[in-house]
Amino acid sequence: MNTRNTQQSGGRETAASRALRSIAGLVLTLCLAAPLHGQGPDRSQPPQVGAPPSLTMPLIRHLQLSGGLPVVLVEKHTVPVVQFTLIVKAGSVHDPEGKEGLASLAASMLMEGAGMRSSLELADAIDYLGARLSAHAGMHTSSVSLYTPLSKLDSALALMADVALRPTFPQSEVERLRKERLTELLQWRDEPDALAHVAFNRLLYPDHPYGRVSFGSERSIRAISIGDLKTFHTSYFRPNNATLVVVGDVQEAALVQKLEGLFSGWRPAAIPSVKPSAVRPVARREITLVDRPGSAQTVISIGCIGAQRQTEDYYALVVLNTILGGSFTSRLNDNLRERHGYTYGARSSFSFRFQPGPFLAGASVQTAVTDSALFEFMRELEGITKSIPDSELTKAKNYVALSYPADFQTVSQIAAQLEELVVYDLPDDYFGNYVKRILGLTRQEVESAAKKYINPGKMMIVLVGDRKQIEDGVRRLSLGVLRHATVEDVLGKAPVVQ
């Protein structure tokens, strides 16, 4: 007790002291009473999983401008921002023979000068508005994306229209990007993940655009001219070959008026037809070892031809992959990371495209345990084709269902989901029915998908690592024909960058 305060109060208890004594008594009473009124939490088993949060999508409106450009609109008025994504149905599968990388370079060049602005002037204008404007090319589509505050909508949208419709393709910027790409190809020689990616796709799709490097090769990058870039843009960037997705704080009538003013001069035209060859499945299990002397790790890539996006097995494959290698608690990660400590993470995926995309399982593992890790991969691939316990199936379905609404939190996320809707011609009720379809899957459907798409005896295996240290162990596994490759076999000779 503070002596000075006691003396000043004449030896009587102060109000502050009484308050502290009351609080202490209350805390003591609660502590003594707790065991009498209830038990502690039951940690003998995991807590019950609640129902998935509901996903209520705003109305999806389908509009069309006078020039023929379809517009997919979702109004979202909670935050004063807007996301625009112009989707053009042309990507790397449309690259002519010998001009691989054309779609990718054309998309990059859209941001290097448009309308009356140079590359730097365009970048300064975007920064001044506080907007984000970008262009990208994938395998089947190219896109121009704009994220803007509502207060800067008119100015930002005008910039987007210039980029999409009126790129200038200046020679100096083409040469700069050409040099950057050649430099990146040179850097890939020291990146085992890049080597594994290129080698795996080329082996899995030897006579198909999916097997090409969408970025291009040294020869094709040097061969692409400004005329090629302009022809690609003129041929494919047409309103009858595109769709504009809009999500955000806009009203339909006002939006259409703005878009008509900016895109009215865009005219439809005949679109060149490109039909890739059919995809051929893997006939047998093969191993290709890409030698990187002195490598501390081995990159393991194992896979086969998977499924196309429109497959009726889509939902079953999403859940199947979650069980196998699509989540942190998946079989692959639990085995190779948690139990054996071979890697920081093991994973698997199905890439869904217009034609069957790849199924891929892989990890970067310590060099000394390459053979042991490969053995465990094959054991898990074999195991997933057997029966799947109901408890594991329920856990995977809940994981997918509970996480799904998180993909619809921002205008950019909603626009990305709508892009899939547009590209693959999915119905408007797709999002609302997704969780129901996932939770309604039966064990038989998932097991059937596993047997249909995963055949461990017909897998393409690519290993990127130190051949001297890993070859003998891999041979002892007797998994199939073992071939060797060098970095030059995968990427060609090192490009000369000047």
Q: What is the pLDDT of residue 1?
A: 41
Which helix H or strand E contains 142, and what residues bound it? Answer: strand 142-149
Query: pLDDT tens for residues 354-412?
Result: 999 999 999 999 999 999 999 999 999 999 999 999 999 999 999 999 999 999 999 99
326 with 346: CB under 8 angstroms?
Answer: no
Q: Quote the CA–CA distance of 181 and 198 in Å, as a whole number.
A: 15
213 with 100: CB under 8 angstroms?
Answer: yes
- Whether residue 320 has pLDDT greater than 70: yes
Contacts of 14 (CB under 8 A, 6+ apart): 5
Q: What is the pLDDT of residue 57?
A: 81
- Whether residue 451 has pLDDT greater than 90: yes
Domain ranges within the chain, ordered by starting residue: 61-263, 286-491
Query: What pairs with residue 245 in β-bridges?
Result: 72, 85
Query: pLDDT tens for residues 103-160?
Result: 999 999 999 999 999 999 999 999 999 999 999 999 999 999 999 999 999 999 999 9
Q: Average pLDDT in the 229-246 region?
A: 98
Nearest to 461 by CA among 294, 286, 240: 286
Q: Quote the CA–CA distance of 146 and 132 in Å, as a whole number.
A: 6
- Whether residue 29 has pLDDT greater than 60: no
Q: What is the pLDDT of residue 374?
A: 98
Q: What is the pLDDT of residue 21?
A: 61
Query: What pairs with residue 302 in β-bridges?
Result: 361, 461
Q: Quote the CA–CA distance of 261 and 161 in Å, as a whole number.
A: 10
Q: Which two tokens stand for residue 41?
A: 């939490």
Q: Is 478 left (phi over 0), alpha (psi -120 to 50) or beta?
A: left
Q: Average pLDDT in the 273-287 region?
A: 93
The CATH T-level fold of domain 61-263 is Cytochrome Bc1 Complex; Chain A, domain 1 (3.30.830)
Number of neighbours of residue 427 by Cβ within 10 angstroms: 9
Query: What pairs with residue 299 in β-bridges?
Result: 364, 464
266 with 71: CB under 8 angstroms?
Answer: no
Q: What is the pLDDT of residue 6?
A: 41
Q: Quote the CA–CA distance of 171 and 3 in Å, as a whole number.
A: 87
Average pLDDT over the chain, rounded to an integer: 92
Share of the chain above pLDDT 70, in %: 91
61-263 and 286-491 share one CATH topology?
A: yes
Helix (H, G, I), strand (E, B) or coil at 72: strand
Q: What is the pLDDT of residue 223?
A: 97
Q: Quickly tell me which residue has 């199924």 as its tokens.
A: 359
Q: What is the pLDDT of residue 39?
A: 62
- Whether residue 19 has pLDDT greater than 60: no
Q: Which two tokens stand for residue 262?
A: 């900016």
Helix (H, G, I), strand (E, B) or coil at 15: helix
299 with 195: CB under 8 angstroms?
Answer: yes
Q: What is the pLDDT of residue 332?
A: 98
Question: Per the CATH hierarchy, to which homologous superfamily does domain 286-491 belong?
Answer: Metalloenzyme, LuxS/M16 peptidase-like (3.30.830.10)
Query: pLDDT tens for residues 187-229?
Result: 999 999 999 999 999 999 999 999 999 999 999 999 999 999 9
- Whether residue 448 has pLDDT greater than 50: yes
375 with 476: CB under 8 angstroms?
Answer: no
- Whether residue 78 has pLDDT greater than 50: yes
Q: Quote the CA–CA distance of 70 and 62 in Å, as a whole number.
A: 7
- Whether residue 35 has pLDDT greater than 60: no
Q: What is the pLDDT of residue 5?
A: 44
Axis crossing angle, helix 153-165 with helix 252-263, rounded to the nearest 10: 40
Q: Average pLDDT in the 338-350 region?
A: 97
Axis crossing angle, helix 430-439 with helix 411-423, rounded to the nearest 10: 80
Query: What DSSP string describes 372-424?
Result: HHHHHHHHHHHHHTS---HHHHHHHHHHHHHHGGGGGSSHHHHHHHHHHHHHT
Q: What is the pLDDT of residue 20?
A: 56
Where residue 478 falls among pLDDT bands split at 50, 70, 90? very high
